[in-house]
Structure 1
Amino acid sequence: MTTSLELPGYEHIYSGKVRDLYAPVGADGAVVPDQLLLVASNRLSAYDWMMSPEIPDKGEVLTRLSLWWFDQLSDLVPNHVVSTDVPAAVAGRAVLVRKLDMLKVEAIARAYLTGGGLEEYHAKGSVSGVALPDGLVDGSRLPEPVFTPTTKAPVGEHDLPMTYAEVEAQLGADVAAEVSRLTRAILARGNEIAADRGILIADTKVEFGLAPDGSGGLVLADEVLTPDSSRFWPADLWEPGHPQPSYDKQFVRDWLTSPESGWSKSSGEAPPELPAHVVEQTRAKYVEAYERLTGQTF
């Protein structure tokens, strides 16, 4: 159960799995209509369950890394950031952003084959309807990034794969084409930059919105190329044919499905508490990813 903070000058409007949204309130007591305060919590979700306890500093790592990436991607796509001047209680893990009409599609691109994409490839030889070459294995690099969208399910429900035709039906042909192009371009740019820093970005999820007045094109929102929204692999340990070590929450997923946790995904029961060593190692992985990518000490 998430509890909202009391932030003077802001009104709590929504809490998702890992983020809380507040609306700025003007001096006249009216809500500012075109801006939101986006607060990244230290909560972590895996397999659509909220984990306990939280991961210390996670919200700040993701916020700072997203801000760094927004700068690296600014020539590709505009982003939603207005200001990092935020209340002291959420300093470092909150951003004032433009209020957008968010697209109801999870925009995902894959540069390497693993996870749910690998399962579909084994079954059909394709991912999201995109035919792939024969003979690929867990961790294979794809010939080029592939757009593999999913639905955006409510909290507690599973996102489901979408075909490109379904995305076109949801968004219209022009917006769907631009979402696909930008998602793949963001992952390609991310890998260009990360490769020099010893990290491979296997796949990523990004979110786009449109200005409510219909002006302008797509705006990149939420977070971008973080360990929560992407799979980060150490480049020097990359070896196709089995699951790769990672700098992201896959580490938590792997523990949950290990004999040590004693939990089964299919049980329908809530996962156990994360032991201290998993919490500490998860934090360390997030911080290491941030430091390796940005060159800055956290």
Structure 2
Amino acid sequence: MSEAVIQTDLDGLNLVHRGKVRDMYEIPGHDDKLLMVATDRISAYDVVMSDPIPGKGKVLTGLSLFWFDLLGDIVENHLISAEVDEYPTVCVPHREILAGRSMLVHKTAPLPVECIVRGYISGSFWSAYQKDTTVCGFELPAGMKESDRFPETLFTPSTKADIGDHDENISIERLEEIVGVDRAAEIASTSVGLYQ
């Protein structure tokens, strides 16, 4: 079994962000691009776990590439390539670590929120419902059981928390304050449309 990649340190590239799972690098001479590297770190419930899973970053990258390809005609994405041979030459010495777990992407501004679409009551939503039938501003029918289907698909955005903090559910009104009314409507409509 291969050794887990807990973090990367790539000479010649500038580490700009180490997230819960991914390391992101700027590439000298390519100001409009980033190199994203998926490590084998595990993040659950907004916490980075101490034990990585070898190869997990490659699986995560493969899943991302699948969805970017499938949805590319519907939602624009930042992917340029996942083929190391197509990366700038400064990346080539790191081929062994980058192969299968990295993507060259356009530098863009990410949405400052997470887009969550729910069709069934489970997880944190189920926990909140057990205390009150109004969850995230949605008045839900009494008597629902865990994993019941909602009467209609729900869009429940949340904040994007830093490492160690927890994401917080936010209202549509708060989303509108963060991204603007028109952008919020586009985000909600696209998210629900992709789900359905």
Q: Report the TM-score when normalising by structure 2.
A: 0.85
SS of the aligned residue for 1:34 comes to strand
1:96 matched to 2:99? The reply is no
Q: Which residue of 2 aligns with 1:53?
A: 51
Counterpart among 164, 178, 181 of residue 170 in structure 1: 178
- Once residues 133 and 192 of structure 2 are traced to their aligned partners in structure 1, the CA distance between those partners, rounded to angstroms, is 20
Matches within 5 A, 1:32-47: 32-47=30-45
Q: Which residue of 1 aligns with 2:74?
A: 76
SS of the aligned residue for 1:184 comes to helix
Q: Which residue of 1 aligns with 2:10?
A: 6
Q: Which residue of 1 aligns with 2:24?
A: 21
> What letter corresponds to residue 169 of structure 1 in structure 2?
E
SS of the aligned residue for 1:21 comes to strand
> What letter corresponds to residue 82 of structure 2 in structure 1?
T
Q: Which residue of 2 aligns with 1:239?
A: none
Q: 1:38 to 1:118 in 2, by over 3 A?
A: same
Q: CA deviation at 1:3?
A: 4.3
C-alpha contact (below 8 Å) 1:128/1:164 kept by paired residues: no
Q: CA deviation at 1:49?
A: 2.4
Counterpart among 170, 186, 208 of residue 194 in structure 2: 186
- When the two chains are superposed, the root-mean-square deviation of aligned CA atoms in Å is 1.7
Cα-to-partner distance string for 1:13-50 (whole Å, 9 max, x where unaligned): 11011110011112xxxxx2211111111100123322
- Once residues 125 and 141 of structure 2 are traced to their aligned partners in structure 1, the CA distance between those partners, rounded to angstroms, is 13
Matches within 5 A, 1:1-298: 3-8=7-12, 10-26=13-29, 32-86=30-84, 87=91, 88=95, 89-188=97-196
Runs of 4 or more above 4 Å deviation = none
Q: Identity over the aligned pairs, expressed in percent?
A: 42
Q: 1:101 to 1:146 in 2, by over 3 A?
A: same
- Once residues 154 and 58 of structure 1 are traced to their aligned partners in structure 2, the CA distance between those partners, rounded to angstroms, is 21
Q: CA deviation at 1:127?
A: 3.0
- Once residues 161 and 24 of structure 1 are traced to their aligned partners in structure 2, the CA distance between those partners, rounded to angstroms, is 35
SS of the aligned residue for 1:102 comes to coil
Q: CA deviation at 1:169?
A: 0.8
Q: Give unmatched runs, 5+ long, in structure 2.
A: 1-5, 85-90
C-alpha contact (below 8 Å) 1:128/1:149 kept by paired residues: no
Q: 1:12 to 1:159 in 2, by over 3 A?
A: same
Q: Report the TM-score when normalising by structure 1.
A: 0.57
> What letter corresponds to residue 117 of structure 2 in structure 1?
A
- Once residues 63 and 147 of structure 2 are traced to their aligned partners in structure 1, the CA distance between those partners, rounded to angstroms, is 25
Q: Give unmatched runs, 5+ long, in structure 1.
A: 27-31, 189-298
